[in-house]
Amino acid sequence: AQSVTQLGSHVSVSEGALVLLRCNYSSSVPPYLFWYVQYPNQGLQLLLKYTSAATLVKGINGFEAEFKKSETSFHLTKPSAHMSDAAEYFCAVSDKAGNNRKLIWGLGTSLAVNP
């Protein structure tokens, strides 16, 4: 069964430093992939998604993610962290293959940005 793993439940960076949040999927058939962000006391919103059109995907607020089939990864990056980036980030997978009507969610990574 398809699964998604987010390495590191908590990541802490300094303001201005590189942000790297890791996501790996398990399927042998590359799925569709999503990153969602949840700001404190809010619902989730889409940050970006991989739809097979391009391996480097740009999202909102300066985030981007690169799909690497050989590594079964879809890591999220931002060159320079801002205090407002502090949030929970979720990676999710949509399996192309079957009748599954649902997204498969990672457990989330909490990003803290230190001044």
Q: Which of 28, 69, 102, 115 binds other proteins (CB under 8 A)?
A: 102
Taking CA atoms, 20 is separated from 4, 28, 105, 109, in Å, by 17, 24, 18, 11
Tell me which amino acid residue 29 is. Answer: V
Nearest to 86 by CA among 1, 15, 35: 15
Q: Which of 9, 12, 61, 84 binds other proteins (CB under 8 A)?
A: 9
28 touching other proteins, by CB under 8 A:
no
Quick note: the x/- pattern for other proteins over 42-81, rule CB under 8 A, is: xxxxx--x-x------------------------------
103 touching other proteins, by CB under 8 A:
yes
Task: Produce one character per residue of 32-44: b if its CB has 16 or more CB atoms within 10 Å, e if not.
Answer: bbbbbbeeeeeeb
Q: Which residues bind other proteins (CB under 8 A)?
A: 9, 32, 34, 36, 41-46, 49, 51, 90, 94-103, 105-108
